[in-house]
Chain A
Amino acid sequence: MVDINKLREIAKEVISRDDVRQVIGYRPGTYGFRARPAFVLEPDDVDELIFTPACVNNLATYITLEEKLPVPRGQEPDSRKVAVMVKGCDSRALVQQMEEKAYDREHLLILGIPCRGVVDMDKVNARFPDVLEKGEIALEGDKFVISFNGTKEEVAKDELLADKCKRCRYPTPLVSDQLLDDEVERFAEDDYSDIETLEKRSQDEKWAYWEEKLSRCTRCYACRNVCPMCYCEDCVLNRIEPMWMRRSVDVSENTAYHIARAYHLAGRCIQCGECQRVCPMDIPIMELNRKFYKDVADLYDYEPGTDAEASPLLSTFSVDDREDFIL
C-alpha cells in the first residue's frame, strides 16, 4: 500500500521545486467510489492527493494531451518539468511515447506507483449500487475493503479487479525518477486465451459479433482522446478535405473508424485498457488491440512500451522480418 503521507510529502517537495510546473496525480471523485485526476500547482494543493485502487485513469495521457497554445510575443514558453504519477501499466505509455520521441525525457519527472491492481468501477457499481456518499476502496491482501456510509465490506479481490490487472505483467513502473512504494513483483501472466477464443470464430460469427457492438458506437471519440498513444496533432478523423472518414454515424463508418484506430495502434498499444474503460457504449475495444498486440509479439518478438531505447516497430526494417503473410 502506498503511504498517503509519504505520497503527499514527496509531491510537496516536487511541486516546491523551481523546475517543476505541475504534479499530475489523483484526488477523490465527486461521488461514490470514483477518483479523478488532480493537477497540483501549489504546495498547499497536495493535501487532496490520494492513491487507492479507485485510481483507474492513465495519467500519461495528459502529457501529450496538453494544449500548446501560441506564446504571446515577449514571453518565453514554460519549459519547467511536468511531474506525473504512473502505475506500472501507465508507465509503459510514457516509455512508448519516449520511444517515439514525442518529447524529451527531461520534460518529465516520473513518480512511479508500484501497483497491485485497480478496480473495475462498473463491477463496483454493480455490487454497490446507488452509493452517492463518498466511499473508499482499499486493497488488503486478496480482498478489497469497501467503506461507505459507516459500513465496511470485504470483497474477494478477483471479483472487483479490472480485467487488465488479472493479466498484468508490469506492476512496477518501468520508468521512474522516484518510486512511491516498494517494488511489486509480477503476480500474473497473460496467456491470450481470450483472443485465441475470438480467433477461432468463423468469419460470419465475427461479423455478427462486431456488427452489434460497432452499431452502438456514437463516435464520441472518448476512446481516441483518452488514449496516451493517440497524440497526432492533426488526427486523420478531423480532416475534411480529403474526408478520409465520414462523419456520418452508421455501422459501416463506425467499423472503418475502429479498424483505423486499431491499426494505428498496432505495435504501439501498451494495453492500459483506457479506451474500453471509457466507452459509454461498452464496445470491447481491447479485443482488437489485444489481437494486434499478440500478432506483433508472435511475428516480431516486439513488445511496445517496455524499452525507451528501442526503435518503434513500424519504423524499423530487418531483412529477417517475416513476410510469409504477404500475398
Chain B
Amino acid sequence: MAVKKLSKDKVGEALKELSKFRLVAPARSDDVVIFKEISDPAEAYLDYGNSTVPPKKMVFPQTETLFRFMVGDPELKEKNVEEEGTTVIFGIRPCDARAMSIVDKLFAWDYDDPYYQKRRALTTLVGMACTEPPSVNCFCTSVGGSPFSKEGLDILLTDMGDYYAVQALTEKGENLQKTLSSQLEDGGDEKKVEEMARAAEGKIKRSIKTDGIPEKIPTLWDSDVWKKVSASCLGCGTCTFLCPTCHCFDIQDEVEELGEGRRARMWDSCMFSEYTLHASGHNPRPSRKERTRNRISHKYSYYPNKFDDIACVGCGRCINLCPVNIDILDILEQVVEA
C-alpha cells in the first residue's frame, strides 16, 4: 500500500476519530510517561522518548480479573475481555511492538491464553519509528530489531518534520487507515523513510554480539560469574516489571465484602524471593545469585532455545532504571568472557 501522510496539525483530529475505539497513547504524569487510555487528544504526548512502563500492560494488565465468584457458590462469572472493545495503541515504539510478537508465542504455546489472545486480537498497534534513539542504552539492533522495525506493528508512523509518513503493514492497519481517510493525504515518501531508517540504525550506540550466548549460558550453571554480577542486586522488580517481554504472573483469590470474590492474576517477578518459594519452605533459587541467573538465562537462553527469539528487545529500560546500575549488556559481556 502506498505511503500516506498525516499532517501534524491533523493529528488531534485523527486521534479524535480514533477515540471511537479504546484509544491508548503515551501521556505524561509529572515527568513520567505512561501509556493510558485517553479521551482528549491533548493528553497524548507524542514527542516522547519511550514510556517508563512498557505498553505491554494494555494487553497483559498488571492486575486483571479472570472471573468472579461467591464463596460457596459453584457458579462462576467469567470476565469477558471483549467488553473492553477494540483498542488502538497509538505511538508505541517498534521495540515494544516487537516484544508483543515475541510474547505472543508464549501465550499460544502449551495453552492458548484466552485473556491475552482476545486482547491482542482486539488491539491495533500504531507504531512511532525512532528517528532518534530514545535512550543511550538502546540496543535493539543487536537483538533482531531496529528503530524502524515493523514486526508486530499494524501501522508505522515516521516523523518527517511537519507530517508523519503513514505505512499500513497489515489488514488491521489498512482498516484503520480507511477510518482515517479524511485526515490522511497521499504522497508519503517511502524512499525517504528507508533512508531515515538506515540513519537511525547508525545512531544506536550500544551493542552485543549474541552469537553463541544461548548455547553458552547453560554451561555456566555453577560459574562464579552469577555471584559477581548479582552482588549489588537489591532483589526489586524494576528490571522485570518494566521489561516489555517479561510475562510472569501470579494468581491470587481475593475475597471482598460479603463473600464476593475474584480470581485475579498479576505481574510477578523472578527477582522476588517468594517467586519460587515452595510450600515446604524450600526455595530452589535461595538467593539473588540464582534469581539473576534465571532472569538472564530465560531471556537469552531458554526462550531462544524454545521459540527462536531472544526475549529481549534492547529497549534499555532495565539498564536505565536499575537502582544499582546492573547492566544487562555488562552481564552478557561477562558471560561471553566466562
- Measuring CB to CB, which residues of chain A are less than 8 angstroms from any residue of chain B? 29-32, 34-37, 39, 57, 61-62, 65, 67, 69, 130-132, 212-213, 215-216, 218-222, 224-226, 238, 240, 243, 246-250, 274, 277-278, 280-282
A37–B232 Cα distance when bound, in Å, is: 6
Q: What residues on A are CB-neighbors of B232 within 8 Å?
A: 36-37, 39, 62
Q: What residues on B are CB-neighbors of A226 within 8 Å?
A: 234, 236, 323
Q: What residues on A are CB-neighbors of B136 within 8 Å?
A: 31-32, 130-132
A67–B286 Cα distance when bound, in Å, is: 9
Pick from A213, A219, A238, A246: contact of B273, CB below 8 A. Answer: A238
What's the least CB distance linking A261 to chain B, in Å?
13
Q: Does B241 contact A (CB under 8 A)?
A: yes
A199–B7 Cα distance when bound, in Å, is: 47
Q: What residues on B are CB-neighbors of A249 within 8 Å?
A: 62-63, 266-267
Q: Does B237 contact A (CB under 8 A)?
A: yes
Check B238–A280 contact: CB distance below 8 A.
Answer: yes
Which 4 A-B pairs give the minimum distances between C-beta atoms? A278-B323, A36-B325, A222-B236, A220-B237
Q: What residues on B are CB-neighbors of A132 within 8 Å?
A: 136-137, 205-206
A278 and B238 in contact, given A57-B324, A238-B273 (Cβ under 8 angstroms): yes
Closest chain A residue to B206, Cβ basis:
A132
Check A29–B325 contact: CB distance below 8 A.
Answer: yes
Known: A221-B237, A225-B234, A226-B234. 9 other contacts (CB 8 A): A29-B327, A30-B330, A31-B136, A39-B231, A67-B288, A216-B29, A220-B237, A225-B236, A247-B63
Check B250–A247 contact: CB distance below 8 A.
Answer: yes
What's the least CB distance linking A128 to chain B, in Å?
11
B223-247 residues at the A interface, CB under 8 angstroms: 231-232, 234-238, 241-242
Check B252–A221 contact: CB distance below 8 A.
Answer: no
Q: What residues on A are CB-neighbors of B62 within 8 Å?
A: 218, 249
What's the least CB distance linking B187 to chain A, in Å?
33
A35–B327 Cα distance when bound, in Å, is: 12
Check A220–B238 contact: CB distance below 8 A.
Answer: yes
B80-102 residues at the A interface, CB under 8 angstroms: none
Check B252–A246 contact: CB distance below 8 A.
Answer: yes
Closest chain A residue to B330, Cβ basis:
A30
Q: What residues on B are CB-neighbors of A61 within 8 Å?
A: 234
Interface string of B18-56 (1 = CB under 8 A from A): 000000000001111010000000000000000011000
Q: What residues on A are CB-neighbors of B321 within 8 Å?
A: 280
Q: What residues on A are CB-neighbors of B205 within 8 Å?
A: 132
Q: Does B182 contact A (CB under 8 A)?
A: no
A215–B34 Cα distance when bound, in Å, is: 11
Check B237–A222 contact: CB distance below 8 A.
Answer: yes
Pairs A–B under 8 Å by Cβ, sample size 20: A29-B327, A39-B231, A67-B286, A132-B205, A215-B29, A216-B34, A218-B53, A218-B241, A218-B267, A219-B237, A220-B236, A222-B323, A243-B254, A247-B250, A248-B252, A248-B266, A250-B63, A278-B323, A282-B31, A282-B32
Q: Does B329 contact A (CB under 8 A)?
A: yes
Interface string of B270-286 (1 = CB under 8 A from A): 00111000000000001
Q: Does B287 contact A (CB under 8 A)?
A: yes
Closest chain B residue to A121, Cβ basis:
B325
